[in-house]
Amino acid sequence: MRGRSRVFLLALVLFLALQAPASAGTKTYVIVFDGLPASPSGLLATVVTSFQLLYVLSPIQVIVVQIDESFVGVIKQLPGVLAVIPDVLHKVHTTRSWDFLELERNGAATGAWKDAAKYGVDAIIGNVDTGVWPESASFKDDGYSVPSRWRGKCITGNDTTFKCNNKLIGTGFFNLGFLASGLLQGKPPSQAAELYTPRDYIGHGTHTLSTAGGGFVPDASVFGHGKGTAKGGSPLARLAAYKACYAEGCSSSDILAAMVTAVEDGVNVLSLSVGGPADDYLSDPIAIGAFYAVQKGVTVVCSASNSGPQPGSVTNVAPWILTVGASTMDRDFPAYVTFGGVTSSMTIKGQSLSNSTLPQGQRYAMINAKNANAANVPSENSTLCFPGSLDSDKVRGKIVVCTRGVNARVEKGLVVKQAGGVGMVLCNGAGNGEDVIADPHLIAAAHVSYSQCINLFNYLGSTDNPVGYITASDARLGVKPAPVMAAFSSRGPNPITPQILKPDITAPGVSVIAAYSEAVSPTELSFDDRRVPYNIMSGTSMSCPHVSGIVGLIKTKYPDWTPAMIKSAIMTTAITGDNDSGKIRDETGAAATPFAYGSGHVRSVQALDPGLVYDTTSADYADFLCALRPTQNPLPLPLPVFGDDGKPRACSQGAQYGRPEDLNYPSIAVPCLSGSATVRRRVKNVGAAPCRYAVSVTEALAGVKVTVYPPELSFESYGEEREFTVRLEVQDAAAAANYVFGSIEWSEESESDPDRKHRVRSPIVAKTTCG
């Protein structure tokens, strides 16, 4: 029986059983085998008195069970068990962008997008998320056909109104892990019904899927802001939606089941704007599912998470995953706050998507929310504009200045409105710095940076009768500098293997307009009864599908390329500069580092013609995994790796697997550098031949000398590979005690065609201290 059929048969069998409350010690576990037993249930029954079998994922030798946690120890001792992983709840990582990514020029498609990549027409993009709103114009069937290689189905569950078509060709929903968590108990029947349909009741999945592969939709906007043609990166791609995320979160076992099903269905791009921290790759079901997908030729793109700018907060860090950070584009939605008298006024700029306006230039009384607290309410609460914290007598008819934090940004505006206020200025605290978000506020509003709000707070404290007004305007294009790293975008170093630089790339993830579910408000807040077909959202959740769409373009142009080759093309052609002749900056205005942007900001057109690529084979990954556990040989690999003969590979006693940093990866990371270290790489020619490349150290590392040998590489044919080494030699250990950053670049030299000039760049990070 195929995995998908087995999944949904089990869903029917277990539905009633999982409605009963689980006992206090009952939990869900993912059990990984080095070879799936003929009867998983029979094997478990030898040591466990009672259990529920939720999923059997035969392609990856995995089962998911609900058992009493007291049995975990004995299950780990069963023959063939590699790991027993607790199920955890993950969270989703929550128009103009394609022009900014150079696939359009002044609204017209470039030849690279339209002709070379054919708008991604041959790609099938699968999205594991909160489902999809199938009625959206972004998923309209405009003369498509279903690819013959597609093996999936349109599973609609209890939703008789849900329809797939030749654009949205497949759907499914995965809820057994979520049901076993017990989070559904006590919820109304309507919410329970949402678990049995692929329909999106949150909006997140519709937004991400349409960003990756939505079709062309003219005149899309959010409350009239940012009007233009909405489309995904691969607008002619076919799409499949796998619902594994719900309002309370996403069960890791449901995500894993969805990933395996998507691969078996025939997707060639898998996009996941979801994740969470993990201690190692074997304890991370997303890494396990992605590993299987990559071995089947499916490129897996994941968001880096929204826990920035904390160092080491990046997630989805397995080297076989393409991990995406988030940055701005050259568009914002300005809202201006003018305060002071007619002859002594000052204006500061923020952002807003509010559909409420105040009369142009009419001054209103202003008040700091700290001083507008209701009776018996501490000023700490009113400062943040908590519900019920404001005194109507103090606020009525005024513009209230609230501080960002704790409760939702849009909710603060509602609190002001309910207290009788006419407008809100939302000010960042020092921790949020310059990071401002355009939100669809319910009241005239502007979200303003910390540095600009200092002037406003100084004014409010200097006069007894402060006045001002708020002026909104439509989208502003050509904003500089851009890109700027989003404060929320999670940062490296890689918390599992610092020898692999993460994230890999950054892409637009701030104020992105895309399709949305009309079952939920644009703010996702219960008190907001507005509905919109397109919404603006920010997060690495939004940057991830931008890259997924670009992967679809590359896969269409080069259908035989491996996921590693596609990843390399995106990474080595990225740029680290902005549109203001400077380096990419972070939220403070300082220069960002590869721990924020990886190899740089994605460049779509250049990624379609990279010149050279770093290919990574199953044997490379096997050596990498064995290198992570050198003292434990002989052992089965911690993840199932299959050789060219189709048989599982294993770590061998006494074999030399090199070091983790020797994995053939497009970036280089060497923590704990002592004296010197040499890393090995190989590149494959995917351009015209014959050709010759010369290397240069384009950015030196402080305190570390970098030498590349050989300094030139020649290729006589397409697909030919050449090896080289990069030697890092410590010259000033103190200067490199903390991470230092640099890069090398291979530049094509062509006497016959001077215009043929590929540049293949790899960032390098290193430090001389350990830990």
State residue 5's pLDDT score: 38
CA dist 236 → 15, 271, 750 (Å): 37, 16, 35
DSSP character at residue 405: B
Q: Which residue has the higher pLDDT, 711 or 632?
A: 711
pLDDT tens string 384-399: 999 999 999 999 999 9
pLDDT tens string 339-372: 998 878 899 999 998 877 788 778 999 999 999 9
Which amino acid makes up residue 332?
D
For 664-672, what is the mean pLDDT? 97
State residue 189's pLDDT score: 65
Q: Is the pLDDT of residue 644 over 70?
A: no
Which amino acid makes up residue 37?
P
For 470-491, what is the mean pLDDT? 89
State residue 304's pLDDT score: 96
Q: Is the pLDDT of residue 184 over 80?
A: no
- Number of residues in the chain: 771
Task: Give Cα 447 to chain centroid, integer Å.
Answer: 24
Q: Are 760 and 570 in contact (CB under 8 A)?
A: no
For 269-287, what is the mean pLDDT? 91
| Cis amide linkage into residue 481, ω under 30° from 0 | yes
Q: Are 706 and 731 in contact (CB under 8 A)?
A: no
Q: Is the pLDDT of residue 490 over 80?
A: yes
Helices and strands in the chain, H and E counts: 19, 41
Q: Which residue has the higher pLDDT, 343 or 712?
A: 712
User: Alpha-carbon distance 340 to 334, whole Å?
Assistant: 20
**Phi then psi dihedrals of residue 434, to 5 deg:** -95, 5
Map residue 466 onto helix, strand or coil: coil
Long-range pairs, 77-81, Cβ under 8 A, ≥24: 78/43, 78/46, 78/47, 80/33, 80/34, 80/35, 80/37, 81/31, 81/32, 81/33
Cα distance from N-terminal residue to C-terminal residue, the chain: 48
Q: Is the pLDDT of residue 8 over 50?
A: no
State residue 109's pLDDT score: 79
pLDDT tens string 224-244: 777 788 899 999 999 999 999
pLDDT tens string 728-757: 999 999 999 999 999 999 999 866 666 668
Which residue from 142, 308, 272 is spatially nearest to 548, judged by alpha carbons? 272
**Phi then psi dihedrals of residue 110, to 5 deg:** -75, 160
For 467-496, what is the mean pLDDT? 90
User: Alpha-carbon distance 301 to 275, whole Å?
Assistant: 11
User: Alpha-carbon distance 537 to 521, whole Å?
Assistant: 12
State residue 138's pLDDT score: 96
The strands making up 274-275's β-sheet, listed across from edge to edge, are 245-246, 249-251, 89-92, 274-275
CA dist 587 → 313, 540, 590 (Å): 16, 15, 7
Tokens of 694: 């010369």
CA dist 5 → 11, 56, 610 (Å): 10, 10, 40
* pTM strictly above 0.85: yes
- Name the β-bridge partners of 616: none
State residue 654's pLDDT score: 59
Which amino acid makes up residue 82?
L
Q: Are 584 and 485 in contact (CB under 8 A)?
A: yes
Q: What number of other Cβ atoms are within 10 A of residue 240's Cβ?
A: 30
Tokens of 351: 């952002």
User: Alpha-carbon distance 246 to 195, whole Å?
Assistant: 8
State residue 94's pLDDT score: 64
Q: What is the DSSP string of 32-51?
A: EESS--S-HHHHHHTT-SSE
Q: What is the largest CA-CA distance in the chain?
A: 85
For 279-292, what is the mean pLDDT? 91
**Torsion angle defined by CA atoms of residues 645, 649, 652 and 655, in that order, rounded to the nearest 10 degrees:** 70
Tokens of 80: 């063939």
State residue 20's pLDDT score: 37
pLDDT tens string 46-100: 998 889 999 999 998 899 999 999 899 999 999 888 889 999 988 887 645 666 6
Tokens of 50: 């009672």
Active site residues: 129, 204, 541
CA dist 292 → 4, 497, 641, 736 (Å): 16, 20, 8, 38
**Phi then psi dihedrals of residue 293, to 5 deg:** -60, -45
Q: What number of other Cβ atoms are within 10 A of residue 499's Cβ?
A: 24
For 491-500, what is the mean pLDDT? 96
Which residue from 309, 295, 404 is spatially nearest to 350, judged by alpha carbons? 404
Please identify which residue in the block is written with the tokens 């610092």.
498
What burial letters (b/e) apply to 147-170, b meaning 16+ CB within 10 Å? Answer: beeeebbbbbbebeebebbebbbb
User: Alpha-carbon distance 551 to 428, whole Å?
Assistant: 36
DSSP character at residue 580: T
User: Alpha-carbon distance 569 to 749, whole Å?
Assistant: 19
Q: What is the DSSP string of 165-196?
A: -SSEEEEEE--HHHHHTTTTTT--HHHHHGGG
Q: Are 460 and 438 in contact (CB under 8 A)?
A: no
Q: What is the DSSP string of 274-343?
A: EE---SSGGG-HHHHHHHHHHHTT-EEEEE--S-TTSTT------TTSEEEEEE--SEE-EEEEEES-TT
374: burial class by Cβ within 10 Å (0-12, 13-18, 19+)? middle
Long-range pairs, 494-497, Cβ under 8 A, ≥24: 494/312, 494/314, 494/317, 494/669, 495/277, 495/312, 495/313, 495/314, 495/317, 496/278, 496/279, 496/280, 496/281, 496/317, 496/318, 497/317, 497/319, 497/628, 497/660
CA dist 359 → 42, 240, 363, 366, 575 (Å): 74, 46, 9, 15, 44
Mean pLDDT rounded to a whole number for the chain = 88
pLDDT tens string 123-182: 999 999 999 999 999 999 988 899 999 999 999 999 999 999 999 999 999 999 999 988
Q: Is the pLDDT of residue 437 over 70?
A: yes
Q: Is the pLDDT of residue 632 over 80?
A: no
Q: Half-sphere exposure (CA, 13 Å, Cβ side) for 585?
A: 17
pLDDT tens string 499-521: 999 999 999 999 899 999 999 88
Q: Is the pLDDT of residue 7 over 50?
A: no
Q: Are 601 and 506 in contact (CB under 8 A)?
A: yes
Q: Is the pLDDT of residue 298 over 70?
A: yes
Crossing angle (nearest 10°) for helices 285-295 and 252-265: 10
Q: Is the pLDDT of residue 13 over 60?
A: no
